[in-house]
Amino acid sequence: MDKQGFFGKWGGAYIPEVLHQTFQELNAEFTKCKNDPAFWQEYVELMSTYSCRPTPLTHAENLSRHFGGAQIYIKREDLNHTGAHKANNVMGQGLLVKRMGKKRVIAETGAGQHGMATATMAAKFGLACTIYMGEEDVRRQRPNVFWMEKMGATVVPVTNGSRTLKDAINEAFRDWVTNVDETHYVFGTVCGPHPFPEMVAWFQSIIGLEVAEQIIRYHGKMPARIFACVGGGSNAMGIFKRFIPESNVELVGVEAGGHGIATGLHAARLSGTDASPGVAQGYKTMFLQDDDGQMQETHSVAAGLDYVGVSPILSYLWEKGRVRFEAATDTEVMAALDLTMKKEGIIPALESSHAFVQAFKEAPQLTPDDAIIINMSGRGDKDIFTIAHAFNDPSWKDFIIKRGLEYSQGK
Amino acid sequence: MQLEQQLRDRLEKRDILLMTHIVLGYPSFDTNREVIRQMVENGVDCIEMQIPFSEPMADGPVIVRANQEAIKNGTKVADCLSFAAEMTASHNIPFLFMTYYNIIFKYGEEAFFEKARGCGIKGFIVPDLPPEEGESFLQLAAEYEIAPILIFAPTSTDERMRVLASKAQGFIYCVARRGVTGVKSVIGEEVLEYLGRCRQATSLPLAVGFGIQDRDDVSALIGKADMAVIGSQTIRLVDEKGAGAVGPFIAGLR
Ligand SMILES: Cc1ncc(COP(=O)(O)O)c(C=O)c1O
């Protein structure tokens, strides 16, 4: 890091004055925790008793054989409590909240996984909880909305702007400036004002620390490449961080190609050429914006990748050439998801499936002596409506129609 | 110094000044033109013109919607700049730009200062640019003689206020309460005590905004602050009753 909170020219803390004092306190507490080995131990202990850490590294033997190239390994973040890597960050921030003595947490969510994780943390730690979620995402991630509410959280559908993740972030900030004294904003990814990018990357780095040991144990050497999907970038930073100094390990971030980069309907910030430097949502990074600096509409089948900005840390690593960025289209994602289910009996989230797409493209270029690792950031259960719809599944449709009819008849 | 002096001159004749807010391009530049005319004719002392941004993080529902609609109507930064030039040429009060930092950053900081000075703009209010991130911005502000108006909040410590005051010019914008624009503030003991702290921290004029909506709010500030800021309320008024309602409303505030 260069100037406080900057990675090269990216990052910073572009925050309204009302939040200045709270950020001072947050920075102080975070610095204390970072320098206290007992805090990290407490965190690992919590993650191994409340969640499923260490999560397994699965050798995908059938997929490896199918592509006939590299050995494919899958890091199973889906086996975390609540089904995604989001729990790593949330439980870490939960411990911070307890130390700071705040009584309420708020969060934005896209796919609903971060909201889910925050709602569980709030239930466990006895905190009040409000989750902001774009109206569009409420619709496409309905199962997560149901569970958040059942765990006692208030879910607020956001109807401003594009009604997706960025709008949920704006709304969460508006809540925070209003209720700053008692409330902590559990930011869900490695974006936003300093110290969030650094803090979230730190909590998520537990993924890569485990992987480094696991791959040596199973494969005897470092992997050739690591693939992770990139929305804000937290699962990617989580698995990449440990490997940044390992110059022989190629790190590949996969963004949402949506309907294809040429259509303009995508969320490819670093893999395409549509993004440019900007400052919004509290930080400086590459944004999908027009010449005036107005943020543009994004599109992805995966709510968690459907976002205009990207981690300032990743913009920095992209600029330095340390992380390569690619994009996967909605159609490619469905095919990779289908193949993974059939070959391995594993159901990746739509977000995670983006990483699978790129890994499948590159596996044949390598030899069986090479290992590649896919970060499976989450499980696909939450996507059941979207996936069933995309596969045009007849028996599912029939079930929904019948159930809808029963409900409408008051049964 | 320019802006501060203009306000001080006006304070000779008034016990409190009025600053109003409009969102450029909402509902249209024609309406903006008429609203501004009515504001000036009825004694408004200073106007902040908001260049719309797609992510107005510090604003409440009324101004958020106005920003979105303005952009949807096709309002461009270039249109806002030429409209500003027209207004400063037509009316003899100071005009400011309020916007979010990305609009300036994307335009190019120096180019934006140069252009704004050419348009006769006297100050900038940028709620998401704290001085820590605004080193070059503050330098350019000095160079181009456009006042960087910084913000005090009730959560600002005395020490923080002094830091901000040392970098600000023109006046200090005191946010009356925690939260976003548009929700009514009660000017009670807590606010008055906070304004006392603001007064202690700086000799610059104090403007008070966020939720100032009527004559009672304005008169409660007399003697405690130098300028009352009316934001969302006039936008609401224009939405409900049209531009013609603005003049009488402003006239009734003091
Ligand atoms: C399963 C899953 N993967 C990935 C993401 C994208 O976030 P990030 O890029 O921060 O990992 C999300 C976000 O909601 C998610 O739920």
User: Which residues share a beta bridge with A327?
Assistant: A255
Residue B166 forms part of a structural domain: no
Say if B163 falls within a structural domain.
no
Residue that is written with structure tokens 């348009």 in the block: B119
| Contact in structure between A234 and A204 (CB atoms under 8 Å) | yes
Q: Which domain holds residue B6?
A: 2-150+212-251
CB-CB: which of A279, A289, A291 is closest to B101?
Answer: A279
pTM score: 0.97
Residue B1 pLDDT exceeds 80: no
Per-residue pLDDT, A411: 83
Residue B191 pLDDT greater than 70, yes or no: yes
The residues of A annotated with a catalytic role in the active site are: 86, 108, 377
Residue B189 bears catalytic tag: no
**Degrees (nearest 5) of the Cα angle B235, B241, B247?**
75
- A181 CA: distance to closest CA in chain B (Å): 9
Is A241 in CB contact (< 8 Å) with chain B? no
pLDDT tens-digit map of B88-123: 999 999 999 999 999 999 999 999 999 999 999 999
Q: Is residue B160 part of a domain?
A: no
* B134 lies in some domain: yes
CA of A304 to the centre of ligand 1 (A): 5
- Residues A67-107 have pLDDT tens digits of 999 999 999 999 999 999 999 999 999 999 999 999 999 99
Residue B245 within any structural domain of the chain: yes
CA separation for the pair B24, B79 (Å, rounded): 9
If one counts the domains in chain B, the total is: 1
Q: Is the peptide bond before A195 cis (omega within 30 degrees of 0)?
A: yes
Name the minimum distance, in Å, from the CA of B181 to any CA of chain A.
10
Report pLDDT for A255.
98
pLDDT at res. B114: 98
Q: Answer for the pair A375, A399: CB distance below 8 angstroms, yes or no.
A: no
For residue B139, being part of any structural domain is answered with: yes
Q: What mean pLDDT is reported for chain B?
A: 96
CATH at residue B58: 3.20.20.70
Percent pLDDT > 70 in chain B is 100
Share of chain B above pLDDT 90, in %: 94
Residue B187: predicted pLDDT = 87
Does residue B200 fall inside a structural domain?
no
With CA atoms as reference, report the closest residue to A200 among A88, A98, A355.
A88
User: What pLDDT sits at residue A32?
Assistant: 97
Q: To which residue do tokens 């050798």 refer? A: A59
Ligand 1 neighbour A309 (Cβ under 6 A): no
Average pLDDT over residues B201-228: 96
pLDDT at A47: 98
Q: What is the ipTM of this complex?
A: 0.97
- Asked if residue B20 belongs to a domain, the reply is yes
- With beta carbons less than 8 A apart as the criterion, state whether A309 and A6 touch: no
A276 touches chain B (CB under 8 A): yes
| Mean pLDDT on B149-166 | 98
End-to-end CA distance of chain A: 60
Q: Which residues of chain A have pLDDT under 70?
A: 1-2
- Domains of chain A, first to last: 13-48+84-200 (3.40.50.1100), 54-83+205-389 (3.40.50.1100)
